[in-house]
């Protein structure tokens, strides 16, 4: 009996109060038709309602690929547990994502768990254990001694516990039943065997399917092609049909918004020359990325986050460091499982051009949690006098931590990238010197961060991590004593442009204070 059915038939299994788990990474592998279908059904009938959604990653882009924004409706969504949320303003309407509006209005019980936590928690749900236990995240916003991962006042239930095991403290995430899974693949046959040949990522689709089936729930997949039984190599099938209950054919599955090249470039097998990759626009972010690229080493598994840090491989490509086969001397990855090639930035982030291998999400976080990503380049929104980094909640933005907590906790060498101030910052380069034409309204070096995403000073002092903060105008080293200023950009005034823009003073300023490398400031620009 075929597992293919209509969208309406597939969604009819969802009941009020059910827990639905799904994944996507921005626009990649987002089961958009299924999520939109639930929202449309709710609008028409009022059912299903009061659903709990688990999204390990930021699913959809809240623009052309709505993803979790589709189901951000009061009454439909009772609770959400998300690894990351989307904040960008829509370029046409100027509107914030509907999910962010729901969170800011306290109309949903919103929680944020690190991506790895949600994915590895799925494994424990599948195994029927009491829950997932980890040291990662102690002392951060997910610690119940602080916010316990809560993002809204209505999120009153304690989803995270702090326990003691063999004399040591751990965070404990109890398992909970899951009734419905939404997956997205490329092809399926009558038995529901799923392959992902046109998908640049797999993410946690396998883990989700196993967890939901183990709970006695229903796994629903959307695909773009129906193929005959036995027509594919077994190695191409990533989710066996035994783990899939219903399949919906969606022939116009969308990919990432404004994708800059054919999807095939993200799948491997036909390499794109690094010289043909997009070049980041001149500006402060590019200066930061180029300076961060000087920290990258050959033959060292290096993981990159969103923002200026994600531009590092593209800057290296532009500078010719990946030409003549040298691309294969570097081991680049993200938390989403693509290995090798060049990490892309912006809406293409998470998928690599010219990948050499692809892991599923749960296995990738085993790599990360195992400390195998020796070098990490990540963004920062705030750094405080106590040595804490914040990327999860600041001002009106509630992005969550993504894979940040797990990556930062387990890497050996860390680089945090970001502009020195934000909200209106304008810079210019001329004659090899940097100038601040308009200072940002918001300081990022603060006395106390609004959220604690990672206790960096603790990592440096207790686990012997090394860490640098790289901005467009200064470079800092994080020491056991605190923040040390080790480089300054040419044209920048130490007191006016650095010290007066910080809420605390560095514990040490190098004397003499070296200038940042002159090659960073040869590209004249005016922002």
State the catalytic residues. 335
* Those residues with Cβ within 8 angstroms of residue 273's Cβ, 6 or more apart along the chain or in another chain: 323
Measure Cα distances from 321 to 55, 67, 518 in Å.
Answer: 37, 37, 18
DSSP H helical ranges for 393-484: 404-410, 456-463
Phi/psi at 164 (nearest 5 deg)? -115, 130
The Cα 84–Cα 68 span in angstroms is 11
| Alpha carbons 414 and 466: distance in angstroms, whole number | 6
Could you tell me which of 366, 363, 332 has the C-alpha nearest to residue 350? 332
What's the CA gap between 354 and 374, in Å, rounded?
A: 22
Nearest Cα to 171, choosing from 132, 208, 201, 198? 132
Residue 272's CB is within 10 A of a number of other CB atoms, namely 17
The C-alpha angle 427, 429, 435, rounded to 5 degrees, equals: 50
Crossing angle of helices 115-127 and 205-214, in 10° steps, is 40
Burial of 59 (0-12, 13-18, 19+ CB in 10 A): buried
Residues 66 and 95: beta-carbon distance below 8 Å = no
DSSP E strands: which ranges in 259-319? 301-304
């Amino acid at each position: 009996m075929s597992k293919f059915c209509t969208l309406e038939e597939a969604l009819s299994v969802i009941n009020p109060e059910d827990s639905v788990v799904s994944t996507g990474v921005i626009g990649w592998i987002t089961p958009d038709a299924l999520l939109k279908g639930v929202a449309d059904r709710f609008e028409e009938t009022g059912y299903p309602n009061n659903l709990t959604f688990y999204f390990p990653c930021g699913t959809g882009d809240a623009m052309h690929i709505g993803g979790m924004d589709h189901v951000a409706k009061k009454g439909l969504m009772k609770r959400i547990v998300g690894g990351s949320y989307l904040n960008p303003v829509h370029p046409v309407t100027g509107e914030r994502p509907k999910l962010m509006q729901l969170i800011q209005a306290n109309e949903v019980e919103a929680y944020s768990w690190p991506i790895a936590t949600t994915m590895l928690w799925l494994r424990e749900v599948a195994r029927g254990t009491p829950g997932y236990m980890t040291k990662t995240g102690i002392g951060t916003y997910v610690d119940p001694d602080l916010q316990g991962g809560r993002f809204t006042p209505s999120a009153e239930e304690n989803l995270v516990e702090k326990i003691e095991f063999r004399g040591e403290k751990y965070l404990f995430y109890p398992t909970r039943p899951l009734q419905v899974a939404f997956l997205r693949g490329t092809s399926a046959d009558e038995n529901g065997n799923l392959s992902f040949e046109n998908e640049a990522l797999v993410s946690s689709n396998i883990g989700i399917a196993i967890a939901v089936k183990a709970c006695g729930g229903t796994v629903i997949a959307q695909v773009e092609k129906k193929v005959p039984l036995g027509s594919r190599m077994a190695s191409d099938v990533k989710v066996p049909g035994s783990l899939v209950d219903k399949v919906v054919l969606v022939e116009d599955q969308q990919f990432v918004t404004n994708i800059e090249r054919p999807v095939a470039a993200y799948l491997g097998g036909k390499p794109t020359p690094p010289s043909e990759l997009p070049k980041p626009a001149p500006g402060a972010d590019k200066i930061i990325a180029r300076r961060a690229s000087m920290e990258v080493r050959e033959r060292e598994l290096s993981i990159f986050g969103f923002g200026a840090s994600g531009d590092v491989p593209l800057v290296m490509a532009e500078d010719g460091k990946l030409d003549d086969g040298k691309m294969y001397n570097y081991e680049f990855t993200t938390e989403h499982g693509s290995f090798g090639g060049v990490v892309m930035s912006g809406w293409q982030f998470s998928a690599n051009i010219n990948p050499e291998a692809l892991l599923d999400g749960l296995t990738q976080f085993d790599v990360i949690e195992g400390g195998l990503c020796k070098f990490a380049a990540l963004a920062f929104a705030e750094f405080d006098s106590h040595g804490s980094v914040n990327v999860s909640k600041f001002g009106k933005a509630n992005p969550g931590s993504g894979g940040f907590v797990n990556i930062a906790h387990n890497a050996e060498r860390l680089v945090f990238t970001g502009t020195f101030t934000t909200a209106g910052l304008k810079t210019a380069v001329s004659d090899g010197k940097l100038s601040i034409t308009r200072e940002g309204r918001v300081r990022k070096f603060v006395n106390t961060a609004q959220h604690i995403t990672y206790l960096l000073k603790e990592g440096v002092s207790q686990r012997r991590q090394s860490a640098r903060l790289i901005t467009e105008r200064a470079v800092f080293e994080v020491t056991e004593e605190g923040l040390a200023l080790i480089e300054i950009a040419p044209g920048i005034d130490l007191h006016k442009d650095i010290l007066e823009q910080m809420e605390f003073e560095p514990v040490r300023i190098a004397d003499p204070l070296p200038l940042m490398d002159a090659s960073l400031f040869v590209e004249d620009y005016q922002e």
